[in-house]
A = this chain, B = another copy of it.
Amino acid sequence: MNSQDSTTPGPDETRRMFAARGLKLTHQRLEVFCELAAAKDHPCAETVWRRVRERVPTISLDTVYRTLAVLREYGLAARVPVDGDMARFDGDTAPHHHLACECCGRIDDLPLGEFDPAVLPEAVSAWGRVRDAQVVVRGICRRCLESGEHGPTRSDADQTPS
């Protein structure tokens, strides 16, 4: 497949991926898609919007929501399985795991070779069809621990709160 993180799909690659699925590629969609693909912090819809707006000042938040829904529907994006007030998105659809801070809301990728989703007990195939299996670790990140800001603080943003 594509390389680790160096290959953030460029405009050409993106155009091809959209065409392959019969999706219309608009300026907004291109920017949302590339922004999400480049992001490593699993942003929420509003954060994607805030970032894309710097390049496309006229894009509306609901277009971002609609685009994210479409990307998800066509397997070009995924929602991270975390419990929180807002949905978090991931441009990396390859199977991997996550670390989520319950204090500041940051979500990081978790390199974990130990766990192989393919090795699920047969009870699972009896349950139904698996789309994805991942390990979700919840805790308090070092930054929050050091700033003494931990606690049931269930904060908010996923980006710099500036």
Contacts and interface: CB of A to CB of B under 8 A. Distances in A.
B110 A137 contact: no
A144 B129 CA distance: 10
A141 interface: yes
A117 B112 CA distance: 11
Interface residues of A, number: 47
Among the interface residues A108, A115, A142, A143, which one has the most CB atoms of the partner chain B within 10 A? A115
Interface of A: 72-73, 79-83, 87-88, 99-102, 108, 110-115, 117, 119-121, 123-124, 126-145, 152
Contacts of A152: 72-73
A142 B115 contact: no
